[in-house]
Amino acid sequence: MSYTGYSWECECGHIEYGENPPEECKKCGKINSFAKLPEEIVDEREKNEWEELNK
């Protein structure tokens, strides 16, 4: 899986991908609630999901 830019996580746990953080969360409607996620965490999550799918 590949994407450009960064991963952003809202306070509610919703994750968006992009170069800049989304202004508004589509899930909870909060503004400027996104924090940048370290890429290692995302890689780990994707790996776990992949392992789940291929059990």
Q: Which residues bind Zn ion (CB under 5 A)?
A: 10, 12, 14, 25, 27-28
In terms of CB distance, is 28 or 35 closer to Zn ion?
28
Considering only CA atoms, which of 10, 40, 11 is closest in space to residue 22?
10
The stretches of the chain forming alpha helices (DSSP H) are 39-53
**Quick count: other Cβ atoms within 10 Å of Cβ 34?**
23
Min dist CB 41 to Zn ion, Å, is: 17
